Structure 1
Amino acid sequence: MRTTRSPQALSEHSALVTGGSRGLGLLIADRLAARGCTVTLAARDPSELESARAKLHRRHPRATLHTAPCDVRDQEQVRAVLRTAHETSGGPDIVVANAGIIQVVPLDSIGADEFRSAMDTMFLGALHTALEALPYLRESPHGGRLALISSVGGLMGVPHLLPYACAKAATGVLAEGLNAETAADGVTVTAVYPGLMRTGSHLHAQFGGDSGKEYGWFSTLAGAPFLSMNAQRAAERIVHAVVRRRTRLVLTPLARAAGLAHGVAPAATTRLNALVARLLPEGTGVREPLHEGKDIAPPRGAVTGRVQAMGSAMNEKAADAYNQRSAP
C-alpha cells in the first residue's frame, strides 16, 4: 500500500469500518487513517484484525487504531461495538458497512440456504450497522456520514453470482432510502457500487458446482487490468466520496456502462446476461458445501492454466498486500 497525503483532513473525526480486516475494508481504513481519522476495524476474526491493525500501524504510526471482533449478522454484537467505539474514541462520525461474502456458483448447485447466508451477511449486516450507527451519526458535531458498499452486481442479476447480487441490490436500495430519510438530521448516506477490483478476494470467495472452473474464471476476471480496478484507487475514491457527501458512487467504467445499459434497456441486458451464462462453466446439479478459493487448486490445462495464471497475477499480489493471507 503506497502512502499518499490527502488534503481532506479528518483529524477530529472517528470512524468504524466493518469488514475492515482485509481487502477493500482494510484499504478504506487505510485512507481514513491517512487523513488523521481515528479508526476502529470490525470483523469476525480477531487474528486477522490484529494483523490488519499491525499493517496500518506500520504505515501510519501516529494514527489511533482500534479493533473490535464482531459478527455483523448479530445486531446485539453490532450495538456493543458501536457503544464501545463511542466510549473509546467518541463519535463515530463516519461508518462504512463493508462486510460481505462472495459465492460463485451456478443456480442448480445451491438452494435457499446460500441466498439466506448472503442476505444475512451483506444486507442484514449493513442494516444492523446502519440502525445502530444512526443515533451516533445524528449527534456528530461534524455531520454524520454513512457508506454502504453495494456492487455492480447489485445493479443487475449476474449469473453464477445470484445470492451476492440479490444481497447487494437490497443493500443499494437501503442506502438510497436511508439517505432520503436521514437528510433532515444532517446525516448523508453514500451508496457505493464497485465493479471488479484487485483485492485478492478470490482467496476467500466461495465456489461451488465445478469449483475449479468457477475459481478459474472469477480469479482471472477479478485480476484483469482492463476489467478490474486498482483497489487502492477505489478506496481513495470511496473515502473522497464519503467526505464530499456524495449520495452515489459507481466505480469502474465497465460498472457504469453496465448500470446505464440495464437502466436504459433492461430487457436487452437480461438477454445478454443469458448469453454470458452459457459461456460460464456448466453446473453439476449436485448441492455440495462451497469451497473457499484458497483451498482450490488452480486449473492445470495447458492453455487454461496459463491464462488463469496471467489474469490473476495482480490479484495474487493484492492478496499479500491487503491481508487476504493474514500475514503479520
Structure 2
Amino acid sequence: MRVPKRLLLAGAAAALAARRTLTPRYDLSGKSVLITGGSRGLGLALAREFAARGARLTLTARTAADLDAAAAELRRQGAEVATVAADLTQAEDVERAVQAAVTAHGTLDVIVHSAGMIQTGPIQDMTEEDWREIMEINAFAALRLVRAAYPHLKAASGRVLLVTSIGGKVAVPHLGPYSMSKFAAVGLGAALRSELALDGIGVTTVCPGLMQTGSPKHAVIKGQHAKEYAWFATIDNLPLISMPAPAAAQGMVNALVRGDAEAMIGLPATVARYAQALAPQLVADVMALTNRFLPGPTGSAEVRLGAQAESDLTRSNPIKRAAEQEFNQE
C-alpha cells in the first residue's frame, strides 16, 4: 500500500517537532570552549559569540601576537580567555592546545575547528603538494583535534563544532583543493556524529557560504595572481551573496546549541546545497560555464598571498576593508 505524500510530509514534520522538543538546548554559560583559528577572521567572530553567551575560551592559532590582540579585546569585554600558539598540523601541538584548555578552565566541554586555509587558482597550476597541504589543516587537523579532546568531551558529554563550507557540497572552479578538503571535512563530521553519539558527544557540521571575514588577503594565490585575486576578493565581499561574519557566527553557534547534525549558514549556501541535490547536472554545467570566465593557467607554480596581489580595485572595496579592520586581518 502506498502512503500518500502528504502523510509522509506530516510524519516528517512531526518527527522534526518532536526532536526539537525532546533535544535539550545546550547551555554555553560557564562552558570551556577551545577555538582553533581564534585570533582573527571567522574564528574571532565565533570567539566573540561564545563569549557573549558566557563561555570560557581558549584560543589557538599559529601567531602569538595575533592571539594576544584577540584575547586582550575579549578580556576588555569581560570574557575569560586563555591562549596557546600551536601548529595544528603537528599532533603534539594539538595535544598541547587541548591540555592548555583543560589547565586553564579545569575541563573541556566544546571544541570548535575554525582554522583553515584557502587556495585559489586553475587546477593546472596546483601541485600535488598543494592538495596535501590544504587537506592537513582543513580536514586532518579537525580529526587530530577530536581525537586529542575525546576523553575530555566524553567526560563532559560535550560538543564538537566543525566549520566546513558550502564548498564541501558544491565544488567551485579554481577552488579544487579547497573543495576536496571541505568535502572530506563534511564526511568527517557525519562519521563523528554517528559514532560519538554513543559517548554522549554531539557533533555539528556547519557549511557557510561566502562571509565577510577579511580573509582573502591571507589566501594562497596561483596562476595569474592579480586577476585571480581580484575575482576572488570581489565575490567574497559582495552584498547579498556574502554575509557579515557576526551573523554567520551567530548561526553556527545556534546550530551547535540546538544540536543540529548539519546546518547551511546563509541563504546562498542553502540554495546551492539544494540545487546540487536536485539538479547536479545543471550545477555541473553552470560551474563549467563559470570556469570559462576565470583567468587561465600560467603553467607556473609560483605562489603569492592575497596581500601580495592587491590592486586598486581590491584595496578600494569598502566591505573588504571594514572586515579586515574588524577581524584582526590587517
TM-score by length of 1: 0.90
Whole-Å separation in 1 of the counterparts to 2:191 and 2:60:
24
Partner amino acid for 2:143? L
What's the offset of the Cα at 1:297?
Answer: 2.8
Partner amino acid for 1:132? A
Partner amino acid for 1:37? A
Matched residue SS, 1:41: strand
Q: Quick check: 1:94 aligned with 2:110?
A: yes
CA deviation profile, 1:282-323 (whole Å, cap 9, x unmatched): 1112221x211112231x5xxxx3xx566x321210111101
Partner amino acid for 1:220? T
Matched residue SS, 1:225: coil
What's the offset of the Cα at 1:63?
Answer: 1.5
| Aligned-residue RMSD, C-alpha | 1.5
Bigger Rg, structure 1 or 2: 2
Whole-Å separation in 2 of the counterparts to 1:309 and 1:275:
28
Q: Quick check: 1:66 aligned with 2:82?
A: yes
Residues 27 and 257 of structure 2 are in contact (CA less than 8 Å); yes or no, is this contact kept in structure 1?
A: no
Tell me what 2:10 maps to.
Answer: none
Residues 15 and 91 of structure 1 are in contact (CA less than 8 Å); yes or no, is this contact kept in structure 2?
A: no
Q: What is the correspondence of 1:209-220 to structure 2 with a 5 Å cutoff?
A: 209-220=223-234
Match of 1:197 among 211, 217, 226: 211
Whole-Å separation in 2 of the counterparts to 1:318 and 1:225:
13
Match of 1:133 among 149, 154, 158: 149
Residues 147 and 190 of structure 1 are in contact (CA less than 8 Å); yes or no, is this contact kept in structure 2?
A: yes
Matched residue SS, 2:204: strand
Match of 1:293 among 283, 300, 306: 306
Residues 9 and 36 of structure 1 are in contact (CA less than 8 Å); yes or no, is this contact kept in structure 2?
A: no
Q: Which runs of 5+ in 2 are unaligned?
A: 1-24
What's the offset of the Cα at 1:87?
Answer: 2.0
Match of 1:164 among 178, 196, 204: 178
Partner amino acid for 1:54? A
Q: Which runs of 5+ in 1 are unaligned?
A: 1-6
Matched residue SS, 2:223: coil
Q: What is the correspondence of 1:1-328 to structure 2 with a 5 Å cutoff?
A: 10-58=28-76, 60=77, 62-140=78-156, 143-288=157-302, 290-298=303-311, 305=313, 308=314, 312-325=317-330
Partner amino acid for 1:76? E
Residues 15 and 95 of structure 1 are in contact (CA less than 8 Å); yes or no, is this contact kept in structure 2?
A: yes
Residues 209 and 242 of structure 2 are in contact (CA less than 8 Å); yes or no, is this contact kept in structure 1?
A: yes
What's the offset of the Cα at 1:9?
Answer: 5.5
Partner amino acid for 1:63? A
The alignment covers a number of residue pairs equal to 306
Whole-Å separation in 1 of the counterparts to 2:29 and 2:256:
15
Residues 23 and 201 of structure 1 are in contact (CA less than 8 Å); yes or no, is this contact kept in structure 2?
A: yes
Residues 315 and 321 of structure 2 are in contact (CA less than 8 Å); yes or no, is this contact kept in structure 1?
A: no
Greater displacement, 19-28 / 253-262 = 253-262
What's the offset of the Cα at 1:137?
Answer: 0.7
Matched residue SS, 1:12: coil
What's the offset of the Cα at 1:22?
Answer: 0.4
Residues 86 and 94 of structure 2 are in contact (CA less than 8 Å); yes or no, is this contact kept in structure 1?
A: yes
Whole-Å separation in 2 of the counterparts to 1:21 and 1:158:
27
What's the offset of the Cα at 1:12?
Answer: 2.2
CA deviation profile, 1:57-109 (whole Å, cap 9, x unmatched): 23x2x221010111111111111211221122122111101110010111111
Matched residue SS, 1:99: coil
Tell me what 2:15 maps to.
Answer: none
Whole-Å separation in 1 of the counterparts to 2:52 and 2:183:
31
Partner amino acid for 2:43? G
What's the offset of the Cα at 1:223?
Answer: 0.7
TM-score by length of 2: 0.89
Partner amino acid for 1:49? L
Greater displacement, 80-89 / 34-43 = 80-89
What percent identity do the matched residue pairs reach? 37
Residues 150 and 193 of structure 1 are in contact (CA less than 8 Å); yes or no, is this contact kept in structure 2?
A: yes
Whole-Å separation in 2 of the counterparts to 1:49 and 1:271:
43
4+ aligned runs moved over 3 Å, structure 1: none
What's the offset of the Cα at 1:10?
Answer: 2.6
Greater displacement, 87-96 / 316-325 = 87-96
CA deviation profile, 1:222-243 (whole Å, cap 9, x unmatched): 1111110011011011111112
